[in-house]
Amino acid sequence: MPGYAVGVSPAAEGNPGAVTGIAKMKLDALYSELTVQTGAKLVMLVLDGLGDVATPDQGGITPLEAAATPNLDRLAKESALGRVIPVAPGITPGSGPGHLALFGYDPLEYQVGRGVIEALGLGVELQAGDVCARANFATLDDKGVVLDRRAGRIPTEVCERLCARLQQQIQHLEDTRVIIRPGKEHRFVVVFRGPGLEGPLTDADPNREGLPIPKALPRDPDNPRQQKMARLIELFYRAALPLLADAKPANGFLMRGIAHQPYIPSFEERYRLRAAALAVYPMYKGLAQLVGMTKLEGPRNVREQFERYLDEHDRFDFFFIHHKATDKAGEDGNFEAKKAAIEDVDAALPILLQKKPDVLVITGDHSTPCVVRGHSWHPQPVLLHSRYSGTDRRVRFTEAEANGGSLGVFEARFLIRLMQAHARMLDKFGA
Amino acid sequence: MPGYAVGVSPAAEGNPGAVTGIAKMKLDALYSELTVQTGAKLVMLVLDGLGDVATPDQGGITPLEAAATPNLDRLAKESALGRVIPVAPGITPGSGPGHLALFGYDPLEYQVGRGVIEALGLGVELQAGDVCARANFATLDDKGVVLDRRAGRIPTEVCERLCARLQQQIQHLEDTRVIIRPGKEHRFVVVFRGPGLEGPLTDADPNREGLPIPKALPRDPDNPRQQKMARLIELFYRAALPLLADAKPANGFLMRGIAHQPYIPSFEERYRLRAAALAVYPMYKGLAQLVGMTKLEGPRNVREQFERYLDEHDRFDFFFIHHKATDKAGEDGNFEAKKAAIEDVDAALPILLQKKPDVLVITGDHSTPCVVRGHSWHPQPVLLHSRYSGTDRRVRFTEAEANGGSLGVFEARFLIRLMQAHARMLDKFGA
């Protein structure tokens, strides 16, 4: 049977053997081969950081359990439920891996550099091949030794002013366009857009005070595109440092996570779905754009996102709708705010359901438990509703209810395939 | 980002899907890169052969369900539960693969020969590079043809007397030390300790009566270390057979599973945890020692093991505590004894909980259902308690309750990673 792992070949030993032992590329190829267009409408509603844990620290209950969610409850009663492992057991993902996995891309295979994520977060419209670096203003002494890696955390206004000064003077280096975008406090990003560029480079950051700024070097010394990129970083330093000479404590800067926007096969090609993103925050729009989704600008909250979905319903097959407030509340350890963020979505849900999609998934990109005050590894709950989902006889959409669902505990990157199946987009395999 | 999967390497694609579909080597590298030390205390309590099945043969109930376990019940109410697949669906593991998987080593990648397991079980202190063979006394006719592969199952005392005789006469062969250790009835082990030795060899065992003893040959004919080992086995036969000439029915012997102690990366390096083993039986001490855990000698039962944990609490970060009686009872098909073995652990549990570890896991290395009277493939139940486990709202620690837990059904080799996550030892992956 060509195409399958039969027996144990030493090369195939990178081989867990969980529930299926089929080579992943082959599985991807199989999914592609089986995929057909049906015109079905699919919606993936992501409540960022949705999952939580019922610990004594937070009253032995989760925000989903505490929230009044009549609409989600009704939906849960007629849906399939389960839990989603964002990346792998115990791994806590950042937003990049969390969303790529939801979009069906193996987050270990498709890694997005921190510079790229930072640029997306600041709303830079990235193009294929752009190389991004996250940068910090820093304080240097006369000899170029780093005295403060964060330049005393200068106010955001100062950062904005200095970035404008740099951008005004540095528009191009050789054949390459330079885009400088300020962030919060001492943070900014630099994007290099030109032919023949590639990362990753080593950091131009000593990672501690008392040392000079090291040169950014190609990770692969023989790669001419990385060599060119390293030269451009050096030229950027030569041009920029003199412009900051009078700007102490921000008279220098460090550059990290220098990498190009990776090649990611487009969502539409991969799943035969015209996809749109309805996100409020730039980073999530950017992540959706990385896989080729169309960003729909405008909506400022979940109601407006759902209303826009109604408007755009006929133009797209797949809608990624992103709600940020759940994650933010979890990061703050604010149980009441997380509960309220869930209730906001529940209250707006009837708008979305006016044009009930053929397949509706509600989940998170990871858990952000209040007790953790940050992203976590706990599998997020998932609800899948379609004409074919049936009911798992669970009465609410909560973590504990989801544990007993028919979807089990599975990896995020398979969620989109389950959605395709429920949209009848996957043909039978074999006779 | 060295150590990461950037792009697609075809060799690593031998990659399944379900619980984790990620290339194992890359995932291992990722786990390593994310691992930080936190000083947390982790305890893995293994009730050997814990899982069971509720069949009519045993009254439609499992020993865990039948046992009075107030302490486990209390713990279950504030823990995450699930089921653990020892190796892969349907695979029944021996103690070696069962424990290596619990220690986080892929049991397909790290295989330990039967000679090594047997030597560990008899308490031989193995050293790196030792080659071990399990041996049987056997009956030979005048021409060396095997008449009885088990020498009529001679009494253990005879086996001990004959082993002592062999050991007295055969201390060394060339530059290699020979260690002979008797087992039960006709069984013994021979350990070869010397420079440049390696297994595996083919068996010096015709595997049925009526044939002479074949030579043990290198599995890889071009490997000089295996060639040397094959020569030593031949020398051993030449020296030993004359010493048994008068010992009919034990006038010969067969040697099998001739292999060296494999290289296994140390537990401490891999997980950044100083680890101790509290086991009563030699084999489990030996398996722990194979991965570099410190054996703590002395305790003779679970109470003493828990008390010793209290004493040693500050010296180690990770404790592997092994309880044998559950497996033994299952092997005997003795439901009441298995139930009692569980109740013994439950009654002693408050001792352990005097210094409640940051992460406590209770599970088995596999199931040993009474109806099977041996190891089985059924996933064992697992309970994980930490500040971040939350409650799955299950009320007891039983197989059926564990089915509804948030941990789902997952492979044993990920359990240690989940423990690390709950100890906050794994950094966030990606931005």
For position A23, what pLDDT does the model report? 65
| Cα B291 to the center of its chain, rounded Å | 11
CA distances from A429 to A25, A31, A389 (A): 16, 9, 20
Closest CA to B399 of B93, B64, B58, B55: B64
* Out of B404, B408, B431, closest to residue A94 by CB: B431
Q: Which residues, listed in sequence order, are joined to residue B323 by a DSSP beta bridge? A: B47
Interface contact B406-A18, CB threshold 8 A: no
Closest residue in B to A287 (Cα) is B431
Q: Which residues of A touch B19 (CB under 8 A)?
A: 16, 18-19, 85, 89, 409-411
Q: Quick one: tokens of B116?
A: 């090594």
| Positive or negative torsion for Cα B223, B224, B228, B230 | positive
| Contacts B89 to A, Cβ<8 Å | 19
Preceding peptide of A200 cis, ω within 30°: yes
pLDDT at A233 over 50: yes
Cα separation of B69 and B63, whole Å? 11
Lookup result for tokens 């209770």: B362
- pLDDT of B4 > 50? The answer is no
What is the arithmetic mean of pLDDT over B120-145? Answer: 93
User: Distance (Å, rounded) from C-alpha B289 to C-alpha B297?
Assistant: 12
Note whether A95 contacts B431, CB cutoff 8 Å: yes
Contact A18 B21 (CB under 8 A): yes
A412 DSSP 8-state letter: G
Considering chain B, what percentage of its residues have pLDDT values greater than 90? 87
The yes-or-no verdict on residue B34 having pLDDT over 70 is: yes
Residue to test with chain A: of B1, B4, B6, B15, most A Cβ within 10 A: B15
Q: Report the gap between the CA of B79 and the closest CA in chain A (Å).
A: 9
Element (H, E) at B181: strand B176-182
The Cα–Cα gap between B390 and A56 comes to 8
Q: Per the CB < 8 Å rule, is B17 touching A399?
A: no
Q: Which residues of B touch A91 (CB under 8 A)?
A: 30-31, 34, 417, 421, 426, 429
Residue A110 scores a pLDDT above 80:
yes
What's the pLDDT score for residue B19?
34
Q: What's the one-letter identity of residue B250?
A: A
Residue B105 C-alpha, separation from nearest chain A C-alpha, in angstroms: 11
Q: CB-CB: which of A23, A375, A379 is closest to B13?
A: A23
Alpha-carbon span A237 to A254, nearest angstrom: 10
The residue in chain B having the minimum alpha-carbon distance to the alpha carbon of residue A62 is B390
Q: Find which of B13, B34, B109 to mutate to test the A interface (most A CBs within 10 Å of its CB).
A: B13
- Give, as one character, the DSSP assignment of residue B317: S
Task: Supply the pLDDT for residue A7.
Answer: 30
Number of neighbouring beta carbons within 10 Å of residue B423: 26
pLDDT: is B114 or A311 the higher one? A311
Tokens coding B427: 């950094």
Instruction: List the alpha helices (DSSP H) in B172-319.
Output: 224-243, 267-271, 282-290, 302-312
Q: Can you tell me the distance from the alpha carbon of A355 to that of B335, in angstroms, rounded to the nearest whole number?
A: 57
Which single residue is written with the structure tokens 């095997």? B146
Measured between alpha carbons, how far is B279 from B320 in angstroms, rounded to an integer? 8
* DSSP summary character for residue A276: E
The pLDDT tens digits of the residues spanning A23-69 come to 667 899 999 999 999 999 999 999 999 999 999 988 899 999 999 99
pTM: 0.88
Are the CB atoms for B150 and B136 separated by under 8 Å? yes
Task: Say what the pLDDT of residue A86 is.
Answer: 97
Asked if the bond preceding B299 is cis, omega within 30° of 0, the reply is no
Question: What does the pLDDT average to over A111-129?
Answer: 88
What residues in A contact B411, CB-CB < 8 Å?
A: 16-18
Helix B70-77 × helix B335-353 angle, to 10°: 60
Cross-chain residue pair B17–A22, CB shorter than 8 Å: yes
What CA–CA distance (Å, rounded) separates A240 from A250?
A: 12
Q: Give the pLDDT confidence score for residue B22 in this predicted structure.
A: 43
How far is the alpha carbon of A312 from chain B, nearest alpha carbon, in Å? 31
Two tokens, residue A24: 């992943």
pLDDT score recorded for residue A57: 83
Distance of alpha carbon A252 from its chain centroid, rounded? 30
Task: Indicate the average pLDDT of chain B.
Answer: 92
The C-alpha atoms of residue A79 and residue B171 are separated, in whole angstroms, by 71
A16, A371, A374: residue with CB nearest B24: A16
SS3 (DSSP) at B139: strand
Range of weakest confidence among A171-185, B18-32, B253-267: B18-32
Task: Identify residue B33 by its one-letter amino acid code.
Answer: E
Work out whether strand B80-85 and strand A318-323 pair parallel, antiparallel, or are unpaired: unpaired
Length of chain B in residues, anyone? 431
For chain B, the helix, strand and coil percentages under 3-state DSSP, each to the nearest 5: 35, 20, 45
- Of the candidates A118, A116, A258, which has an alpha carbon nearest to the alpha carbon of residue A183? A118
Phi and psi at residue B369, to the nearest 5° = -65, 140
pLDDT digits (tens, 9 = 90+) for B340-368: 999 999 999 999 999 999 999 999 999 99
Rounded mean pLDDT, B67-94: 97
Q: What is the DSSP letter of B335?
A: H
Angle at B177 between CA B173 and CA B183, to 5 degrees: 105
Alpha helix ranges (H) inside B49-191 = 63-66, 70-77, 95-102, 114-121, 156-169
For residue B83, list chain A residues with Cβ-Cβ distance below 8 A.
none
For residue range A124-162, what is the model confidence (pLDDT) as tens digits? 989 888 999 999 999 999 999 999 999 999 999 999 999
pLDDT at B16 over 90: no
The percent of chain A in helix, strand and coil, each rounded to the nearest 5, is 35, 20, 45
Q: What is the DSSP letter of A212?
A: B
For residues A235-260, average pLDDT: 96
Contact A15 B16 (CB under 8 A): yes
Average pLDDT of the segment spanning B243-270: 94
Cβ atoms within 10 A of the Cβ of A6, count?
10
Cβ–Cβ of A108/B27 closer than 8 Å?
Answer: yes
Lookup: tokens for A133: 């670096």
Q: Residue B158, Cα to own-chain centre: how many angstroms?
A: 29
Q: Report, as an integer, the average pLDDT of B205-213.
A: 95
Q: A344-387: per-residue pLDDT in tens?
A: 999 999 999 999 999 999 999 999 999 999 999 999 999 999 99
pLDDT at A279: 96
Residue B85 bridge partners (DSSP): B411
pLDDT of B1 strictly over 70: no
**Residue A115 binned pLDDT confidence (cut-offs 50, 70, 90):** confident
CB contact under 8 Å between A20 and B23, yes or no, is no
A385-to-A98, A388, A390, A423 alpha-carbon distances in Å:
22, 8, 8, 10
Closest CA of chain B from A233, distance in Å: 18
Question: Which tens digits make up the pLDDT trace of B134-165?
Answer: 999 999 999 999 999 999 999 999 999 999 99
The predicted pLDDT at position A17 comes to 33
Average pLDDT over residues B4-28: 42
User: Quick check: A262 pLDDT over 90?
Assistant: no
Domains of chain B, with CATH numbers? 39-110+264-422 (3.40.720.10), 115-260 (no CATH)
What is the rounded average pLDDT for all residues in chain A?
A: 92
> What pLDDT, on a 0 to 100 scale, did the predictor assign at position B134?
93
Query: Contacts of residue A409 in chain B, CB cutoff 8 Å?
Result: 19, 82, 406-410
Residue A118 has what pLDDT?
A: 87
Q: How do residues B296-345 score in pLDDT, each as one tens digit? A: 999 999 999 999 999 999 999 999 999 999 999 999 999 999 999 999 99
SS3 A256: strand
Query: What distance in Å separates the CA atoms of residue A325 and residue A332, rounded to the nearest whole number?
Result: 11
- For residue B159 the two structure tokens come to 């086996």
Beta bridge partner(s), residue A315: none
pLDDT in tens, A265-282: 999 999 999 999 999 998
CA B43 → CA A240, A377, B305, B411, distances in Å? 54, 20, 12, 19
DSSP A81: E
Residue B23 pLDDT grade (very low, low, confident, very high; cuts 50, 70, 90): low
